[in-house]
Amino acid sequence: MERKNVWNSYDEKQLESLESLAKDYRAFLDAGKTERECVTEAVRLAKAAGCRNLEDVIAAGETLKAGDRVYAVNMKKTLALFTVGRESMENGMRILGAHIDSPRLDLKQNPLYEDTELAFLDTHYYGGIKKYQWVAVPLALHGVVAKKDGTVVEITVGEKEDDPVVCIPDLLVHLAAKQMEKKAGEVIGGDDLNVLVGSHPLKDSGDKELKDAVAAYVMDVLRQQYGMEEEDFLSAEIEVVPAGKARDCGLDRSMVLAYGQDDRVCAYTSLAAFLNTEPQDKTCCCLLVDKEEIGSVGATGMDSAFFENTVAELMNCLGCYSELALRRALKNSKMLSSDVSAAYDPNYDSHFEKKNTAYFGRGMVLNKYTGHRGKVGSSDANAEYVAEIRRIFDERGVAFQTAEMGKVDVGGGGTIAFISAFYGMDVIDSGVALLSMHAPMEIASKADIYEAVKGYEAFLREA
């Protein structure tokens, strides 16, 4: 059952489409390095495709009909988009669900401090990271500061060509003998991920140096550029992410190297497929959620009631809401949990089982189950649903492969699939394979990205 590399199957027109998609995808990654930024960019694209804000529809007391396209935003971090189908909502939806949060460093609420005339920002890492990968690399600051007067200021530092960057210093190799004896997970501790942001002391009006003058200088910069006081850190959400743009990777330009491709590669391809798909018999949905990397918890995670509530509001605008109708709509839905898989890396051969792993250039990946070891944390799609997806992809000429997340006892991972399965709907994980998953820079195959869009479109039209 070996799958073939798809690159040589493309004609010139398909290769042009593939490159155009990759260009648009890189632009999306550059515009969306945080979940808030992803939602903003996705809403911009949705509006351009004719989607309306569901809140505006509700406020105007309007009734929706087949073919209408609407979206709903939750706390600026979660987005649900719908194209109303010709059939009753009770017959279920066709859902593409991905997450838009990625591993990173978050500033603590009281982050700024000075030590030996160097100013630092203290962080708390978010999601599963190898902490040693985040030192001695250029980093950027992205986020918002919410002030007591209700204003919200956006902060982005480190992305423009003339912007400064920040970084976490590493111990020089000449003094690192003991450090290098440690296990990889202990080389850099969580409390050592302190971001260097300044070394210039501020002088007061009397030309005297202040206490913690370097930290004072940093605050003076923030005050001038963003009108921010130190107390405003208490109500700020500022993320530390790798600086720089998404890039073509490889001398053949066959790959994309960028931060945050887990899971924005699946979020973007799901969004693109949704926007490309004309109204169908079934209502189509693209759901982009937050907090997957820390268990899908909180008001913006998949485990919240946002999606269920939004479907209820949509059905109410269609004039078909009841609690029973909502339950039927959710139960009768089918979903692709759009999430990434681990690509085979010959440098780490012993961690993969070659017959059941994903490979670059062989198309999008189906994971019947994820979880770890004894399938813990998995929804495990049923055989009949897997067969249906196989049929759709084969009939539509979508290149796909099946995989697991490494060898059985080596590790594993989870997705939002099991949460959606709670409603009784059919769901399977499907997406793009990555190299260096959860590293500051991840790698994806352009061919697999192209096949993912084809696969998601086929699902929306045929499932």
Name the DSSP class of 16. Answer: H
Res 340: pLDDT: 95
Dihedral of CA 334/337/342/343: which sign?
positive
In this chain, the answer to whether the domains covering 7-102+259-462 and 104-242 adopt an identical fold is no
Instruction: Please state, in angstroms and rounded to a whole number, the distance separating the CA atoms of residues 341 and 103.
Output: 16
Res 208: pLDDT: 63
Which three-class secondary structure state does DSSP give residue 149? coil
Res 210: pLDDT: 78
Which three-class secondary structure state does DSSP give residue 282? coil
Res 375: pLDDT: 85
Task: Assess contact for 286 and 271: CB atoms under 8 A.
Answer: yes
CATH topology of domain 104-242: Aminopeptidase i, Domain 2 (2.30.250)
State pTM to two decimals. Answer: 0.95
Cis (ω within 30 of 0) for the bond into 263? yes
Q: Residue 198 is inside which H or E element, if any?
A: strand 195-198
Structure confidence by residue, pLDDT tens digits, 339-377: 999 999 999 999 998 999 999 999 999 998 887 878 888
The CA-atom distances, in angstroms, between 346 and each of 349, 350, 431 are: 5, 9, 21
Write down the domain spans for the chain: 7-102+259-462, 104-242
Res 369: pLDDT: 87
- CATH class of the 7-102+259-462 domain in this structure: alpha beta
Count CB atoms within 10 A of the CB of residue 284.
25
Which residues of the chain are under the pLDDT cut of 50?
none
The arrangement of strands across the sheet holding 442-445 comes to: 247-249, 255-258, 442-445, 433-435, 341-342
**376 CB-contact burial (10 Å; exposed 0-12 / middle 13-18 / buried 19+):** exposed
Cα angle 78, 82, 88 (rounded to 5 degrees) comes to: 135
